[in-house]
Amino acid sequence: MSLYRNLRPLLFTLPPETAHNLTLRGLRILGAWGRPKTDDAILAQELLGLDFANPFGMAAGFDKNGEAISGVHRIGFGFAEIGTLTPLPQPGNPTPRVFRLTGERALINRLGFNNRGQMDALARLESWRKTSAQDRHQTRPVGVNIGANKEATDRIADYETGATRFAELADYLTVNISSPNTPGLRDLQSSAAAGDIMRRVRAAAPDIPVLVKIAPDMSHEDAAGLAALAVAENIDGLIISNTTLARDGVATSRHKDEAGGVSGAPVFEMATDMLRAVYRASGGKLTLIGVGGVSSAAAAYAKIRAGASLVQLYTGLVYEGPGLVGRMKAELAEMLRADGFDNITQAIGADVENAD
């Protein structure tokens, strides 16, 4: 049994946000000591003009303010995504706002884009870039997830502001129009606003990859329509998916009635089904990142075979600890070889292609 599994009962006596902040602090310390281990070459790929040593990324929401980038890389992630970051600092919703659903290996959160604002993170990312430029091991991609302030009078302008600010420092941008915890935000997915946001973000950041993060609660038809719009507006990819408002799979939890989005194991099937549908509809024209319920190499491999080029996780780490990343990389490499693949790129969308 891993050290983390021995420590987890003690950690779970703490409120979720307290435990999270302690973890961030530990990763900040860890990031100053040592470097990521070299990954198996079968996991490496070039995407979006970037080199990914492995397909596993830390999802947005974990390191909102970009405080532990080196630590995230240090535990084995191939890339990190910070944020969601809004133009102005924002405290988010009142606490408590994160709830563990231990039996379901899930979380409910209604954080509400709590962050110290883009200018705070911008200064930190600039400093990290200067330090990492001196160390070839610290060149793993860093994406920035941008959002709109709750009280903004022009939310579309907020996305444009974020893109302008991070266009020179981010390796890629993620446009988050799918959080369920900012009232009205998800309406931007299914209206003319989506195209307007894409155009303005692309114009503000013409030289770096831009992705859009969508909700698993959309119909597959609407998701395919959004994918087609992304292709038309020169957007590079989609992240599938954010948390869900559905309560399927958590009906017995004492926290099931808490407001907010569900992440973790209950989201796996719905997010993977959507991923498969969007991969088929987009015909390989978009880079897809699979998120939702990844806590094993088998789950990650399922998303890759459903069309994901990269995979992100966060909730899985809450239950499995930082050693999960290394285990998944080793096991995924074994799975790829067992299926006769020489490189991970050959497995992307394999189940969809075979079904067709």
207-to-50, 60, 169, 243, 264 alpha-carbon distances in Å: 13, 22, 11, 29, 33
Q: What is the dihedral of CA 155, 156, 158, 160, to 10 degrees?
A: 180
The residue among 94, 232, 107 whose CA lies nearest residue 150 is 94
Cis before 287? omega within 30: no
Cα–Cα distances in angstroms (integers) from residue 209 to residues 69, 129, 159, 228, in the given order = 19, 18, 15, 17
Q: How many CA atoms lie within 13 A of 328 on its CB side?
A: 28
Retrieve residue 275's tokens. 């991923």
Please report where in the chains the tokens 């915890």 appear, as a residue: 181
For residues 292, 296, 299, 304, the Cα torsion angle rounded to the nearest 10 degrees is 90
Contact between residue 85 and residue 162 where contact means Cβ atoms under 8 Å apart: yes
Sign of CA dihedral 328, 136, 202, 154: positive
Catalytic residue, candidates 70, 132, 178, 179: 179
Q: What is the DSSP string of 184-236?
A: TGGGGGGSHHHHHHHHHHHHHSTTS-EEEEE-TTS-HHHHHHHHHHHHHTT--
Task: Report d(CA 67, CA 27) in Å as an integer.
Answer: 9
Catalytic residue at 179? Answer: yes
- Distance in angstroms (rounded) separating the CA atoms of residues 310 and 58: 11
**Burial status of residue 228 (CB atoms within 10 A of its CB: 0-12, 13-18, 19 or more):** middle
Catalytic residues: 179
